[in-house]
Structure 1
Amino acid sequence: MRRPAAPLLAVLLAVAAALLAGPAAPAEARTAAAAAPRPVILVHGYNADPGVWGSLETRLRAAGHGDGRIFRWGYDTHQSVNEVLAGRFAAYVDEVRRRTGADRVDVVAHSFGSLPTRWYVKYGGGTSTVAHWISLAGPNHGTGVAWACALWDQACRDMTPGSWVQKRLAEGDETPGEVAYTTFWSNCDEVINPDDSVPLNGAANHPAGCLDHNALLGDATVGAGVVAALAS
């Protein structure tokens, strides 16, 4: 009748080992999350959609940003920068952080997408949740082209030089907080007028050469520059 003692002892030892090992799993998961590249949120421009990011996403994956670390935010590009879109983007950032366990995210925005994301960073608490903010051909000081649709479209009004949104974004420090700001601009951009609307004081501002507005999305040099900026 004494033979069951050995198996029972083995079971008890196994249970004890499991209980001791249990608390270590969450810590290991947190360590793995910390070691992974920060989540990158790609934000398209006016009258576009998340499908524009195919080329850059391929480059990001090749640089080590794997599955579950790249996100594309889709939104209605005809809404107000400050009253609607910045708040919706804030909620999206919180969702990405919850899903990935990351404290901070990186943001790459094209064109109009630069404005709601920048508003979030400056006025919506994003200085504590965004590590890198990168603008490709963003109308960061407005573009005269937006006057063509400003009569009926709020987003276009926000993009016009001297608009309330532009004035607020230009107030004080254009690049606040511990965020690494980077811009890429073209001297042949048919949408951003003037060309020097894109660079920001305090950012790493990179001329992309003579490229069309949308060509910055797929340009190899710009793509390599984005990857390098995210790694810095």
Structure 2
Amino acid sequence: MSLFPTALPTAASAAADGPQRAIAGPDPVVFVHGWNSDGSTWRTMADRFRADGWPAGHVDQWTYNANQSNATTAEQLAGEIQRVLDTTGATKVDVVTHSMGALSSRHYLKNLGGTSKVDAWVSLAGPNHGTETARWCGGAACVEMRPGSNFLRNLNSGDETPGSPRYATWGSPCDIVINPATSVALDGAANHTTTCLDHGGLRTDRTVYDQVKAHVLQAPPA
């Protein structure tokens, strides 16, 4: 059953009203996947958002080149978020990230003016302070994920959760990809530890979804 049976127009009616019309209901959700992945990895969570009342045009399973620098991805994310805002008529989006997706989106928030366009930000299994696992892969993005990288030092200098967005992280004690597990939490964020989930399980676990949904809706988690 939809949480918003009367508040939200269908995607078709929203388009008919034009891109500048403000849409009642929750913010659009922009998903940012991790390394060696694409937007399809969000299928389970995106379907749950749609089943709970988010119009199809408000659920954006974005795909980008995960081998490039996270700074380059952040610039592209800025364009994608603006596209979603223009298309939906919303004033802000919610950003939900998995793994390395946390880094480009945080760069966008900190350095590219993203805090004025994001209401809530979510990191699932994010290597926010680096992961030793990234020493086993190559390319700009992997180098930036390594603990102590220049990218991470700059990203984590000063306020780790700048501006007005509501920040939240979820990390699992059984996630062997994020090493150390303490990398996920951010100063100033609502930091959560899940049950024993693997790295990809944070995207598909029902309890995590319910908590993420509560966060983006500003409702207290169950």
* Range of TM-score over shorter length: 0.7 to 0.9
Asked if 1:67 corresponds to 2:56, the answer is: yes
Conserved? CA contact 2:21–2:89, under 8 Å: no
Residue matched to 1:99:
87
Say whether residues 1:54 and 2:43 are aligned partners: yes
Number of matched residues?
202
Which entry has the higher C-alpha Rg, 1 or 2?
1
Conserved? CA contact 1:175–1:201, under 8 Å: yes
Which secondary structure does the structure 2 equivalent of 1:169 belong to?
helix
Is the CA contact 2:23–2:88 (under 8 Å) kept in the aligned structure 1? no
Once the two structures are TM-superposed, the CA of residue 62 in structure 1 deviates from its matched residue by 2.6
Q: CA RMSD in A?
A: 1.5
Q: Report whether the alignment pairs 1:169 with 2:158.
A: no
Aligned residue for 1:196? Answer: 182
Q: What residue number does 2:5 align with?
A: none
Residue pair 2:21, 2:88 contacting (<8 A) in 1 also? no
**Matches of 1:61 and 1:95, distance apart in 2:** 19
Asked whether the 8 Å contact 1:59–1:227 carries over to 2, the reply is: no
Moved segments of 4+, more than 6 Å:
28-32
1:10-30, CA deviations, whole angstroms, 9 ceiling, x for partnerless residues?
A: xxxxxxxxxxxxxxxxxx879
Instruction: Determine if contact 2:171/2:184 at 8 Å carries over to the other structure.
Output: yes
CA distance in 2, matches of 1:30, 1:144: 44
- Structure 1: 5+ residue runs without aligned partners? 1-27
Larger helix proportion of the pair: 1
Q: TM-score if structure 2 supplies the norm length?
A: 0.87
Following the alignment from structure 1 to structure 2, what is the Cα–Cα distance between the partners of residues 52 and 61? 15
| Distance in 1 (alpha carbons) for counterparts of 2:143 and 2:56 | 37
1:81 corresponds to: 70
Is 1:217 aligned with 2:217?
A: no
Q: 1:131·1:178 contact (CA, 8 Å) conserved in 2?
A: yes
Would the aligned equivalents of 2:46 and 2:61 in 1 still touch at CA under 8 Å? no
* TM-superposed deviation, 1:190: 1.1
Provide the residue aligned with 1:131 in structure 2: 119
1:117, 1:218 → 2: CA distance?
21
1:112–1:139 CA contact under 8 A, matched in 2: yes
Task: Report sequence identity in percent.
Answer: 47
TM norm structure 1? 0.84
Q: Which amino acid is 2:35 matched to?
A: Y
Check the 8 A contact 2:19/2:86 in 1, yes or no: no
One-letter amino acid matched to 2:49: L
